[in-house]
Structure 1
Amino acid sequence: MKYDNETGLTASARRAHRWPQPSAGRSGRIWYGGDYNPDQWPEEVWDEDVALMAKVGVNVVSLAIFSWSKLEPREGVYDFGWLDRVVGKLGRAGISVLMATATASPPMWLTQAHPEVLWRDERGDVVWPGARQHWRATSPVYRDYALKLCRAIAEHYKGNPVIVGWHVGNEYGCHNRFDYSDDAMRAFQVWCHRRYGTIEAVNEAWGTAFWAQNLDDFSQILPPRYIGEGNFINPGKLLDFKRFSSDALKDFYQAERDVLHEVAPKLPATTNFMVSAAGSTLDYDDWGAEVDFVSNDHYFTPGEAHFDELAYSASLVDGIARKDPWWLMEHSTGAVNWRPINYRKEPGQLVRDSLAHLAFGADAICYFQWRQSRSGAEKFHTAMVPHAGADSQIFRDVCELGDDLRLLSDHGLAGSRLAKSQMAVVFDYESEWASEYTATPSQEVRHWTEPLDWFRALADQGLTADVVPVRGPWDSYEAAVLPAVYLLDEANTRRVHSYVSGGGKLFVTYYTGLADESDRIWLGGYPGSIGDVVGVRAEEFAPMGADEGALDHVNLTNGAVAHGMADLITSVVPGVTVLASYHADKRTGLDGAPAITVNPFGQGRAAYVGCKLGREGLGKSLPALLRAVGLEVQAQGEDPGALLRVERVSPDGSKRFDFLFNRVDHKVRFQADGEPLLASLARVGADGRASIDPNGVLVLER
């Protein structure tokens, strides 16, 4: 389980949810806006900005995110005049502000006077100023300067009715996740002492008997610095360093937050996470307990997975928020600037993408950024006002979205919650970190891909699953998937036993339950800690790859094909039903071995999928799997996966909003069940027959 950085005890308490409230006299609505950087522009542009914001329907902006050098041009000398003028203009237009702490990047005078605040890479090289986030989280010098700035901003703006919340820092760890400096070394030693108590416990957890790595004192603990090409860091130590790095940044955030709340306790505070299917920079579920409301930055994945990855990620944010409303702090109106090829969005996707985040529980839709920059590293990153200006399709789409959000607010969508699904798909940040290790059965197998494959394959069956963090309430669902959840400690092992024996329907895959929280392998065969629940025992892995002459795939008797990884299951307990076996060359030793099984355990059933099937293979396997565990899916139409259906429900259950998204590349027709409320690239006839074009969405009210 997760340990608190200060006490070393299991952390479970979460801060009470507090949502930014509109200024007095204004009704609660869906928040709409984005990052606003007026300090990039001459002051005469500000009035045009505010007028255009009013036209769009913007009601909130984040201010001063990267403005430290302008707010404190010299040490101890503050200049709030320019920011006061901006806040005044916005307030008079009815636009609220999330005020940032501006600590994401220090000014040059600070790093010039104190180069010791700069973080170091694993070789000990200094990361110099020139971009952003070139500070180390464990630097007492940097913390002192940052907290003085936080206090100055809070004192200056406390009581200002335009300010509705704090935007603390920005994308913590995006560039300074790992620091290998002496400050970090000392902090890591303290962290290990708090977590383990004794050096003997550290040795036991890390297995330091291997390669003569035994430690005699906490002072001998080093960060996982450079050890030479082709060598291997101790996996337990590396996993703990990733935990420590997340906690060190979290501790810095908490220090900023606490200063703000000391001065202005009524204003809620948040910071923008970077949750995506592949994003595991920090343990965002752990961080979710420390913000007053969860916020996220999400940028679309180009290509055919665009919409599904977005929906999956938004569902995971909802899981981190425990179904409280959350804030989409950043996404893009079109192309970003940081990929090798920066693809534009197709017509309809600007509106569709925003409404998808909204469907999965967001009550705020914001962009990076309001006006596209003329210069700097992000000048080709699209914005609400692009280089082409207001006479552009992007700006017209932004206006259309503003109208849509006003309509949905008028009908009471704000404050409703994402309805609970039948099934939870579990994601675990620490299992992803462990699966990243460089000495594993296959470097081609990672935890994060499997939950996404299951989410997509279930959607193809007409079931929109909830994505739930491993420490979240996945065991309260009718059915749950543990997809390549590599780490299972004793507490989660007990949860698995209790869940299935109590009647739960559990789907477990290869690479699940292999190790405990210290990355020590559970003995006795795979999946070690829950082998009795799933009723199978595997003795070896059969990795697959593209090397000449190597096994590159294996067929299953149900028509599915496995790639990447397969378990060699050598025995099953009495009562196990084998749904599919391997059909392979005799020389592989896999032919005839069980591949997919179902085991009755207590009052429930546990299915085991012992290989990496991907979305397509899961699609061939899921109908039989769902029947075998007794899960009924209420799929509709000839192609139940053509539409993704998402439902939001008001707290008292009196209002239901159905969001229907086209997932395919052709028009989808169906019978609408509810009152049409909003349509983008969609239409509903008088007889209730509806159609949605590609990239389209229809919202119904019931």
Structure 2
Amino acid sequence: MYFGVCYYPEHWPEERWETDAKMMREAGINIVRIGEFAWSRMERWKGSFDFTWLDRIIGILAGEGIQVILGTPTATPPKWLMDQHPDLYMRDMYGDVRGYGNRRHYCYSNDNYLPYISTIVGKMAERYGNDPRVVAWQIDNEFGCNETTRCYCDNCKTKFQLWLMGKYQEIDHMNACWGTVFWSQIYNEWEQVIVPAYTVFPLHNPGLVLDYRRFASDAVCQFQKFQTDIIRKYAPQATITHNMMGAFNEIDAFNLSEDLDIVSWDNYPNLMFTKEVDPALAAMQHDMTRGLKQMNFWVMEHQSGQPGGNIMFPTPKPQELRRWTYQSIAHGADGILYFRWRGCLFGAEQYWHGILAHDGKAGRKYREVQQVGAELARIWPVLEGSTNKAQVAMIRSYDNEWVFEIQPHIMDYTYMGHFTSYYQSLYDNQIATDILSPQADFSGYRILVLPNFIMTTDELVAKVYEFVHAGGIVVLDYRAGAKDWHNRIEALTLPGKLSDLLGISVEEYGVLGKEEYRSIQMPGSEEVYRGATWFDVIELHGAQAVATFSEDYFSGCPAVTMNEYGKGKAYYIGTELDAKLRDDIFNRICRDAELAMSGDGIVTDSTRIEILSRFKGDQAYTFVINHSVEPVHVQITTPMYDLLSEEELHGETQLGGNGVMILCGPESNRSAILEG
């Protein structure tokens, strides 16, 4: 297991480096990420390169048995470069230049940047590409963070026009797909096509805006590939990654991950002021990252201290860092690098705290890292090679998410908020979930959930029909099938091409305002639930009502339906369900699918316990994580062995606040544990 930290040797006197490396080794750290923001230290003036300091720190780390992930420094092109090419600066939708002073201040589509990248990355790859101390490369840093993907400069407009030519071939094909006859927007030449910058209303053609989002995402993928190609020229065996951003959506991360050997993401569970951090949010983003390549992943930046730029956020409490780390591993992380080693004394992130405080002395967080490092050194020989398995897949569609950002339908509505609500129900019921691309293979799953699939393709529709016909259960909901892949409304009765599968038609629909609800009831239950945000007026054509509206002019109409199709079932949800009804509906769906729960053999009534397994062959290693500061009681119904405490457990046991157990069969790999 890679257990490490993000380190910035250029921020510290060289006489401190050996102390830091020794302290890292004593904490169990075996890998360090360096270099991703150090371009001006490597090339202070154009063509004047100095890698000797990098040689020294790599050597010092190696002397303590620590390997390196080397970052390409293209997120922070130096001032001399920007002065020579001011056209590299991004322009926002208002036409204003996003100037110097932060990071990622460059336009991804500007060809003038590429020769400089080719030089700096080429020299790094030539020098370190076959260095055994450098075990991986990170391209740039956090693509898509802080709205730095979409640029509206003239260069991007030209590149967008070329992108459209490649996609549509004929200008009138594009006009037809976008419906540019509306508001007299027909284009006669490719050079006439605009970028969706600020305009009078402002309300651009939805097809234009969607394609611009796709173009901007593709531009970042191409920018990344330019760098991976350089590294592989010198080091074809290199492991290449990029630190992605979980639920962030500026870039289609499924596309971005294709050119990578392993994906990473940056996990900051405690980045906002909330009464209680919901562990489901980090869990979901772990699952999103694992789903990008459907394989284990790394956490390239894992919160270790209190975040902060100009303001500060909450400080991690004792044992939270350890708990977050084991949650990451439970969801498939095979590498953890904490951010950051030490709080910086200067610059924009002075208040972004790390393992060490500003004084550089070992404190509570260092000792907690040391504890985790010792535990992982002992148990990883057992866990190595284990992976996650799930019977439920949620399908994340960046294209559909972008459509809801372009036209959210409802004030303050977000696709991701809706997506998260479904994930929350699965998480709360200890149901392992994969989060996949629409292009993924669905056949290995029992349940398929496609939230807000407003746009579909014939290929996707056929896959969903086939999945259900073969015995799967699909969950679709309001707006499903309303548009084609060009963001045009289909001239079909909703749910469009999915109607036969779902056994319903939607006669009409409407929105509900903030704090506006409609009552819902389920047959045989006196409980009154609520629907919000949206209502579909549904007619049944073979489906049966699972829940029914009980007020307004559509009282008596179904709110949730189920249709048997082939060997499977297709559910449809026509409103935003309240938490209780959402849980009851998903519990029913999971019973229909006869799912095996993650917590078989483990019983608790605490809502703050997370139970999730990794598997090696048929052997399960079950993580039981207490996401509260209070101890909880856990009933273990069959004898199990806890890798962390090295105790055999059976019956009732108490799991302390922020506590973790990793349970396996009582005789499982006992010799491997001792050898580790």
* 2:387 alignment counterpart: 417
Shifted more, 381-390 versus 71-80: the winner is: 381-390
Aligned counterpart in structure 1 of residue 563 of structure 2, from 599, 603, 625: 599
User: Is 2:268 the counterpart of 1:299?
Assistant: yes
User: Is 2:454 the counterpart of 1:491?
Assistant: no
Q: Write the distance in 2 (CA, Å) between the matches of 1:204 and 1:673.
A: 66
- CA positional deviation for 1:208: 1.0
User: Is 2:475 the counterpart of 1:507?
Assistant: yes
- CA positional deviation for 1:560: 5.6
* 1:453 alignment counterpart: 421
**Cα distance per residue 1:292-330 (max 9 Å; x no partner):** 1111112215433531111111111111121x2211101
Matches within 5 A, 1:467-482: 467-482=435-450
- CA positional deviation for 1:399: 1.0
Matches within 5 A, 1:185-584: 185-228=157-200, 230-276=201-247, 279-300=248-269, 302=272, 303=274, 304-322=276-294, 324-338=295-309, 342-387=313-358, 389-411=360-382, 413-418=383-388, 420-438=389-407, 440-546=408-514, 552-558=516-522, 559=527, 561-574=529-542, 576-584=543-551
Q: Write the distance in 1 (CA, Å) between the matches of 2:314 and 2:292.
A: 29
Preserved contact between residue 300 and residue 310 of structure 1 (Cα < 8 Å): yes
Aligned counterpart in structure 1 of residue 644 of structure 2, from 659, 674, 678: 678
Call closer, same or farther: CA 1:296–1:73 in 2, change over 3 Å. Answer: same
User: Is 2:142 the counterpart of 1:148?
Assistant: no
Preserved contact between residue 446 and residue 593 of structure 2 (Cα < 8 Å): no
User: Is 2:663 the counterpart of 1:696?
Assistant: no
Call closer, same or farther: CA 1:83–1:238 in 2, change over 3 Å. Answer: same
Amino acid at match of 2:285: S
- CA positional deviation for 1:638: 6.1
**Cα distance per residue 1:409-467 (max 9 Å; x no partner):** 232x122211x2221122211111111114x4313322212232122212333323222
Preserved contact between residue 34 and residue 370 of structure 1 (Cα < 8 Å): yes
- CA positional deviation for 1:614: 4.5
* 1:24 alignment counterpart: none
Preserved contact between residue 297 and residue 328 of structure 1 (Cα < 8 Å): yes
Q: Which runs of 5+ in 2 are unaligned?
A: 666-676
Equivalences, count: 653
- CA positional deviation for 1:507: 1.4
**Cα distance per residue 1:489-536 (max 9 Å; x no partner):** 221111111111121111112233322211112232322231221112
Call closer, same or farther: CA 1:657–1:443 in 2, change over 3 Å. Answer: same
- CA positional deviation for 1:339: 8.7
Which secondary structure state, in structure 1, belongs to the residue aligned with residue 415 of structure 2?
coil
- CA positional deviation for 1:72: 0.4
Preserved contact between residue 471 and residue 566 of structure 2 (Cα < 8 Å): yes
Which secondary structure state, in structure 2, belongs to the residue aligned with residue 353 of structure 1?
helix
Amino acid at match of 1:225: A
Shifted more, 311-320 versus 473-482: the winner is: 473-482
- CA positional deviation for 1:604: 1.0
**Cα distance per residue 1:228-275 (max 9 Å; x no partner):** 2x4211111111111111110110110011011101111121111111
- CA positional deviation for 1:159: 2.4
Aligned counterpart in structure 2 of residue 669 of structure 1, from 629, 634, 655: 634
Preserved contact between residue 124 and residue 180 of structure 1 (Cα < 8 Å): yes
Which secondary structure state, in structure 2, belongs to the residue aligned with residue 678 of structure 1?
coil
Amino acid at match of 1:649: F
Preserved contact between residue 228 and residue 259 of structure 2 (Cα < 8 Å): no
Which secondary structure state, in structure 2, belongs to the residue aligned with residue 525 of structure 1?
coil
User: Is 2:22 the counterpart of 1:51?
Assistant: yes
Call closer, same or farther: CA 1:628–1:88 in 2, change over 3 Å. Answer: closer
Q: Write the distance in 2 (CA, Å) between the matches of 1:311 and 1:81.
A: 41
Aligned counterpart in structure 2 of residue 89 of structure 1, from 57, 60, 66: 60
Amino acid at match of 1:391: A
Amino acid at match of 1:535: G
Aligned counterpart in structure 2 of residue 168 of structure 1, from 119, 136, 139: 139
Q: Write the distance in 1 (CA, Å) between the matches of 2:221 and 2:13.
A: 36
Q: Write the distance in 1 (CA, Å) between the matches of 2:639 and 2:288.
A: 27
User: Is 2:95 the counterpart of 1:121?
Assistant: no
Call closer, same or farther: CA 1:35–1:100 in 2, change over 3 Å. Answer: same
- CA positional deviation for 1:630: 6.0
Preserved contact between residue 447 and residue 486 of structure 1 (Cα < 8 Å): no
Q: Which runs of 5+ in 1 are unaligned?
A: 1-29
- CA positional deviation for 1:71: 0.2
Preserved contact between residue 307 and residue 663 of structure 1 (Cα < 8 Å): yes
Amino acid at match of 1:569: V
Which secondary structure state, in structure 2, belongs to the residue aligned with residue 578 of structure 1?
strand
Which secondary structure state, in structure 1, belongs to the residue aligned with residue 516 of structure 2?
coil
Call closer, same or farther: CA 1:455–1:693 in 2, change over 3 Å. Answer: farther
Preserved contact between residue 33 and residue 68 of structure 2 (Cα < 8 Å): yes
Q: Write the distance in 2 (CA, Å) between the matches of 1:486 and 1:96.
A: 47
Call closer, same or farther: CA 1:520–1:340 in 2, change over 3 Å. Answer: farther
Q: Write the distance in 1 (CA, Å) between the matches of 2:311 and 2:184.
A: 44
Q: Write the distance in 2 (CA, Å) between the matches of 1:536 and 1:664.
A: 44
Q: Write the distance in 2 (CA, Å) between the matches of 1:654 and 1:493.
A: 34
Amino acid at match of 1:194: G
Q: Write the distance in 2 (CA, Å) between the matches of 1:320 and 1:154.
A: 26
Shifted more, 501-510 versus 654-663: the winner is: 654-663
* 2:671 alignment counterpart: none
Amino acid at match of 1:455: Y
Q: Write the distance in 1 (CA, Å) between the matches of 2:540 and 2:606.
A: 34
Amino acid at match of 1:212: S
Aligned counterpart in structure 2 of residue 644 of structure 1, from 586, 593, 610: 610
Preserved contact between residue 144 and residue 245 of structure 2 (Cα < 8 Å): no
Amino acid at match of 2:626: N
Preserved contact between residue 100 and residue 166 of structure 1 (Cα < 8 Å): yes
**Cα distance per residue 1:206-231 (max 9 Å; x no partner):** 11111111111211112111112x42
**Cα distance per residue 1:267-290 (max 9 Å; x no partner):** 1211111113xx212111111211
TM-score (normalised: structure 1): 0.89
Call closer, same or farther: CA 1:521–1:143 in 2, change over 3 Å. Answer: same
Preserved contact between residue 560 and residue 620 of structure 1 (Cα < 8 Å): no
Call closer, same or farther: CA 1:70–1:364 in 2, change over 3 Å. Answer: same
**Cα distance per residue 1:552-606 (max 9 Å; x no partner):** 01111134644542332231112x221110111xxx3221110011101122111
- CA positional deviation for 1:631: 5.5
Preserved contact between residue 661 and residue 695 of structure 1 (Cα < 8 Å): yes
Aligned counterpart in structure 2 of residue 130 of structure 1, from 89, 98, 101: 101
- CA positional deviation for 1:116: 1.1
Which secondary structure state, in structure 2, belongs to the residue aligned with residue 612 of structure 1?
strand
- CA positional deviation for 1:642: 5.0
* 1:27 alignment counterpart: none
